[in-house]
């Protein structure tokens, strides 16, 4: 394949990943790194660099829509971004010292977890304890729009959530993905923030987290402009289309199907890593 044909093929795959990623809420980035390495034989480091840029693009595009609807909590986002940016830089620095086979295995495991968590049904956590004193001082609690009007929520276990966010940032920096699934654990499971607020705020934070590790990857030469082009443009176009179709789509079936695709790619990544083919 020459450069033009390869660019068009990658654009189509990235567009498809972008549509499914936005319809299912998993993000297109999760399938792109394995698709680039397994289907197109791209070195894992170039694949990570290109995917990272597409993650920034989708997060920024989607965040602009969610901000308008009033779900995202900017204070929570800004406060937790301290943890994710430091985590992301640490992860990106760590990535240089790890073999690509080991990275492929870690990526496979993270993908398996993301696929599994996306097929679960979510119920908003019941608020058990009183508001955390740190949350009070940081004024993290807020309200969000529901069918019954504005609903108040308060934030718990701020320290635990902050620590988990450092971990989520580290995974994002290590593998060049958004690691939205781990950000949602920190906010939804630990800090007991309503699910809709957690997912939209996580999306808001993903771009900043990815930008923090992008510097390290840029300086290391992982970001090839010609490879990043179809990945970034494809995912962006795909996720804009996906967001437009979202209201009418049968997301339950799609989530399971996409979960299976991600799961299969994840197992193939783990196998290739163990066989040291990556």
Partner 1 sequence: MIVPIQVEHPEQTLGKLLRSGVLISAAVVLAGAVWFLTRHGQEVPNYRTFHGQPPQLSSIAGVLRGAFSGHSRNFIQLGVLLMIFTPVARVGFSVALFAFERDRLYVILTLIVFATLLVSLFWQI
Binding flag, residue 133, partner 1 (CB under 8 A):
no
Joined tokens for residue 261 = 């695709």
Answer for the pair 52, 210: CB distance below 8 angstroms, yes or no. Answer: yes
Binding flag, residue 131, partner 1 (CB under 8 A):
no
CA-to-CA distance for 14 and 232, rounded, in angstroms?
8
Q: Give which of 172, 39, 199 is closest to 106, Cα–Cα.
A: 172
Q: Which long-range contacts (CB under 8 A, 24 or more apart) does 133-138 make?
A: 134/158, 134/159, 138/75, 138/79
Binding flag, residue 93, partner 1 (CB under 8 A):
yes
Binding flag, residue 3, partner 1 (CB under 8 A):
yes
Helix axes 158-175, 195-219, angle to 10 degrees: 40
Binding flag, residue 243, partner 1 (CB under 8 A):
no
Binding footprint of partner 1, residue count (CB under 8 A): 61
Q: Which of 56, 155, 187, 269 binds partner 1 (CB under 8 A)?
A: 56
**Nearest to partner 1 of 106, 115 (CB atom):** 106
Binding flag, residue 70, partner 1 (CB under 8 A):
yes
**Nearest to partner 1 of 225, 252 (CB atom):** 225
Q: Which of residues 22-41 bind partner 1 (CB under 8 A)?
A: 40-41
DSSP for 217-243, written as a single string: HHHTT---HHHHHHHHHHHHHHHHHHH
Q: Which of 51, 59, 199, 200 binds partner 1 (CB under 8 A)?
A: 59
**Nearest to partner 1 of 122, 151 (CB atom):** 151
Helix axes 195-219, 44-69, angle to 10 degrees: 140
Binding flag, residue 129, partner 1 (CB under 8 A):
no
Q: Which of 16, 43, 127, 189 binds partner 1 (CB under 8 A)?
A: 43
How many CB atoms sit inside 10 A of residue 77's CB? 20
Q: Which of residues 201-230 bind partner 1 (CB under 8 A)?
A: 207-208, 210-216, 218-230
């Amino acid at each position: 394949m020459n450069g033009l044909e390869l660019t068009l093929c990658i654009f189509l795959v990235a567009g498809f990943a972008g549509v499914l990623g936005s319809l299912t809420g998993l993000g297109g980035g999760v399938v792109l790194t394995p698709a680039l390495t397994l289907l197109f034989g791209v070195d894992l480091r170039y694949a990570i660099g290109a995917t990272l840029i597409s993650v920034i693009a989708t997060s920024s595009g989607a965040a602009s829509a969610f901000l308008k609807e009033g779900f995202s909590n900017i204070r929570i986002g800004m406060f937790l971004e301290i943890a994710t940016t430091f985590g992301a830089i640490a992860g990106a620095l760590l990535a240089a010292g790890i073999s690509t086979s080991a990275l492929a295995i870690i990526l496979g495991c993270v993908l398996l977890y993301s696929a599994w968590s996306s097929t679960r049904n979510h119920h908003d956590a019941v608020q058990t304890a009183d508001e955390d004193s740190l949350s009070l001082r940081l004024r993290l609690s807020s309200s969000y729009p529901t069918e019954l009007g504005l609903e108040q929520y308060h934030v718990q276990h701020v320290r635990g959530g902050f620590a988990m966010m450092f971990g989520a940032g580290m995974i994002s920096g290590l593998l060049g993905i958004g690691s939205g699934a781990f950000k949602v654990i920190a906010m939804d499971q630990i800090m007991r923030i309503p699910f809709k607020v957690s997912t939209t705020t996580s999306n808001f934070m993903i771009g900043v987290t990815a930008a923090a590790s992008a510097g390290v990857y840029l300086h290391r030469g992982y970001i090839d402009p010609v490879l990043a082009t179809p990945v970034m443009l494809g995912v962006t176009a795909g996720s804009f289309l996906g967001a437009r179709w979202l209201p009418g789509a049968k997301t339950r079936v799609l989530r399971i199907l996409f979960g299976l695709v991600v799961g299969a790619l994840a197992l193939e990544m783990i196998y290739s890593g163990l066989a040291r083919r990556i």
